[in-house]
Amino acid sequence: MNWINKFKKLGESIKRNINKKFPTKSERESSAWTSCCKGPILKTDLKENLFVCPQCNKHHRISPSQRFEIIGFSNYEILKTPIPKDDPLDWVDTKSYKDRLKDARKKTNQDCAVVIAKGKLKGIDVTVGATNFEFIGGSSGAAETEAIIYGVQYAIDNKTPFIFFPCGGGQRMFESPIALAGMTKTTLAINELKKNNLPYLVCFTDPTAGGITASFAMLGDIQYSEPGALIAFAGRRVVQATVKEELPLDFQTAEFLLKHGFVDRIVERKNLGDEIGKILSILLNKNSELDLKNNEQTSELSIKTREAS
Ligand SMILES: [Zn+2]
Q: What is the pLDDT of residues 165-215, one digit of tens each?
A: 999 999 999 999 999 999 999 999 999 999 999 999 999 999 999 999 999
Is the pLDDT at 84 greater than 70? The verdict is yes
All structural domains of the chain: 1-58 (no CATH), 60-308 (3.90.226.10)
Residue 172 or residue 304, greater confidence: 172
Q: Residue 51 Cα, ligand 1 centroid: separation in angstroms?
A: 10
Average pLDDT across the chain, whole number: 89
Q: Residue 204 Cα, ligand 1 centroid: separation in angstroms?
A: 20
Q: Residue 37 Cα, ligand 1 centroid: separation in angstroms?
A: 4
Q: Residue 231 Cα, ligand 1 centroid: separation in angstroms?
A: 20
Residues 144-170: tens digit of each pLDDT: 999 999 999 999 999 999 999 999 999
Pairing mode, if any, of strands 33-36 and 39-42? antiparallel
Q: Residue 40 Cα, ligand 1 centroid: separation in angstroms?
A: 10
Q: Residue 32 Cα, ligand 1 centroid: separation in angstroms?
A: 16
Is the pLDDT at 14 greater than 50? The verdict is yes
One-letter amino acid at 79 equals L
What one-character-per-residue DSSP string does 18-74 give? Answer: HHHHS-SHHHHHHSSEEEETTEEEEHHHHHHTTTB-TTT--B----HHHHHHHTTEE
Arithmetic mean of pLDDT, 243-256 = 95
Q: Quote the pLDDT of residue 91.
A: 96
Confidence band (pLDDT; 50, 70, 90) for 3? low
Q: Quote the pLDDT of residue 29.
A: 74
Q: Residue 55 Cα, ligand 1 centroid: separation in angstroms?
A: 5
Q: Quote the pLDDT of residue 37.
A: 92
Q: Quote the pLDDT of residue 43.
A: 95
Q: Give the integer Cα–Cα distance in Å for 295 and 221.
A: 18
Q: Residue 41 Cα, ligand 1 centroid: separation in angstroms?
A: 9
Residues 6+ apart with CB under 8 A from 133: 61, 167, 168, 207
Q: Residue 36 Cα, ligand 1 centroid: separation in angstroms?
A: 4
Q: Residue 89 Cα, ligand 1 centroid: separation in angstroms?
A: 41
Q: Residue 62 Cα, ligand 1 centroid: separation in angstroms?
A: 15
Q: Residue 39 Cα, ligand 1 centroid: separation in angstroms?
A: 8
Residue 27 or residue 48, greater confidence: 48
Residues 88-102: tens digit of each pLDDT: 999 999 999 999 999
